[in-house]
Amino acid sequence: MRYLTAGESHGPQLTTILEGLPAGMPLEAEDINQELARRQKGYGRGRRMQIEKDTAEIVSGVRHGYTLGSPIALVVKNNDWKHWTNIMGIEAVEAGQEDEIKRKVTRARPGHADLNGAIKYGHRDMRNVLERSSARETTVRVAAGAAAKKLLSLVGIDIVAHVVEIGGVKANVDSTIKLQALKEQTENSPVRTADKNVEQEMMTAIDEAKKNGDSIGGVVEVIATGMPAGVGSYVHYDRKLDGKLAAAIMSINAFKGVEIGIGFEAARKPGSEVHDEIAWEKEKGYYRKTNRLGGFEGGMTTGMPIIVRGVMKPIPTLYKPLMSVDIETKEPFAASIERSDSCAVPAAAIVAESVVAWELANALVEQFYSDRFETFAEEIKRTREYAREF
Ligand X SMILES: C=C(O[C@@H]1CC(C(=O)O)=C[C@@H](OP(=O)(O)O)[C@H]1O)C(=O)O
Annotated binding site for FMN: 132-134, 253-254, 298, 313-317, 339
Helix (H, G, I), strand (E, B) or coil at 217: coil
* Binding site residue list for NADP(+): 39, 45
Helix (H, G, I), strand (E, B) or coil at 260: strand
Binding partner of residue 351 among ligand FMN, ligand X, none, CB under 5 to 8 Å per kind? ligand FMN
End-to-end CA distance of the chain: 29
Number of residues that bind ligand X (CB under 6 A): 12
Look up residue 123 and give its amino acid: H
Interacting positions 33-62 with ligand X (CB under 6 A): 46, 48
* HSE value, Cβ hemisphere, 13 Å, CA-based, for 108: 22
Query: Should residue 9 be labelled a site residue for ligand X when binding is judged by CB under 6 A?
Result: yes
- Which of 25, 351, 363, 380 is close enough to bind ligand FMN by CB under 6 A? 351
Number of residues that bind ligand FMN (CB under 6 A): 21
Query: Should residue 344 be labelled a site residue for ligand FMN when binding is judged by CB under 6 A?
Result: yes
CB of 214 to ligand FMN, least distance (A): 12
Inter-residue contact 353 to 163 (CB < 8 Å): no
- Which of 8, 54, 259, 341 is close enough to bind ligand FMN by CB under 6 A? 341
Query: Should residue 341 be labelled a site residue for ligand X when binding is judged by CB under 6 A?
Result: yes
Query: Should residue 375 be labelled a site residue for ligand FMN when binding is judged by CB under 6 A?
Result: no
Contacts of 341 (CB under 8 A, 6+ apart): 44, 45, 46, 48, 215, 315, 347
Reading phi first (left if > 0) and then psi (alpha if -120 to 50, else beta), residue 233 is in beta
Strand pairing of 332-334 and 285-288?
A: unpaired
Helix (H, G, I), strand (E, B) or coil at 308: strand
Interacting positions 262-281 with ligand X (CB under 6 A): none
CB of 10 to ligand FMN, least distance (A): 13
- Which of 324, 340, 342, 367 is close enough to bind ligand X by CB under 6 A? 340
Inter-residue contact 309 to 323 (CB < 8 Å): no
Per CB under 6 A, residues contacting ligand FMN are: 46, 111-113, 133-135, 138, 252-254, 313, 315-317, 340-341, 344, 347-348, 351
